[in-house]
């Protein structure tokens, strides 16, 4: 298949049918349908059509992502608040996921970051597992010491 037409993309986004059924109907793979629904492909076609549907793997809305990115709560507390995994919170906070939320990350280059700590080699030299999962942990670390290169 050469690609999907704009009409087919809108059909995929608005149809209540499962991805496999739409794939059979359009003559493409179910994975292609999932990629369109999860905003991985054809983002430029009708970006105003909501891509949140019951088949989406997304668990957070843009307002929740904004709250997470601005929050100083622990990852565990945020995960419980929004009923998602800690990894989902970490990825959303770093901007690895939910990039289309178009919300600026609240971090600046001058804020503490574990990667700029003198105790950081290939990991936290002080043994904090949180630092390995999210290098922004330095803001909460009472032993954080900026390296000479970052200062």
* DSSP per-residue codes, the chain: -----HHHHHHHHH--S-HHHHHHHHTS-HHHHHHHHTTSS-TTS-TTS----TT------HHHHHHHHH--S-HHHHHHHHTS-HHHHHHHHHTSS-GGG----S--TTS--GGGBTTBSSSBTT--HHHHH-GGGGGT-TT--B-TTT-
Tokens coding 67: 């709250």
| Low pLDDT (below 70) residues in the chain | 1-2, 46-58, 100-111, 147-151
- 90 and 111 both lie in a single domain: no
Residue pLDDT, tens place only, 98-108: 776 655 444 55
Give yes or no for a contact between 62 and 103, defined as CB atoms under 8 angstroms apart: yes
8 A C-beta contact, residue 101 and residue 65: yes
Question: Do 3 and 47 have their domain in common?
Answer: yes
Pairwise CA distance, residues 25 & 72, whole Å: 47
Q: What are phi and psi of 117, to 5 degrees?
A: -85, 145
Q: 50 and 1 in one domain? A: yes
Q: What pLDDT was estimated at residue 2?
A: 67
The reply to whether 69 and 45 lie within a common domain is no
At 143 the pLDDT is: 76
Structure confidence at residue 150 (pLDDT)? 44
Is the same domain home to 111 and 144?
Answer: yes
Q: Partners of 120 in the beta sheet?
A: 124
Domain that holds residue 71: 62-101
pTM of the model: 0.38
């Amino acid at each position: 298949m050469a690609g999907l037409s704009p009409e087919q993309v809108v059909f995929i986004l608005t149809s209540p049918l499962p991805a496999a059924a739409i794939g059979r109907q359009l003559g493409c793979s179910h994975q292609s349908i999932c990629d369109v629904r999860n905003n991985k492909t054809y983002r430029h076609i009708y970006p105003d059509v909501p891509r949140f549907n019951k088949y989406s793997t997304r668990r957070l809305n843009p307002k929740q992502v904004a709250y997470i990115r601005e929050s100083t709560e622990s990852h565990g507390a945020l995960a419980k608040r929004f009923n998602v995994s800690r990894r989902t919170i970490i990825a959303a906070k770093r901007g690895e996921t939910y990039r289309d939320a178009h919300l600026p990350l609240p971090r600046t280059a001058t804020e503490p970051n574990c990667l700029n700590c003198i105790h950081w080699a290939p990991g936290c030299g002080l043994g904090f597992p949180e630092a390995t999962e999210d290098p922004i942990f330095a803001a909460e670390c009472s032993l954080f010491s900026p390296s000479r290169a970052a200062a």
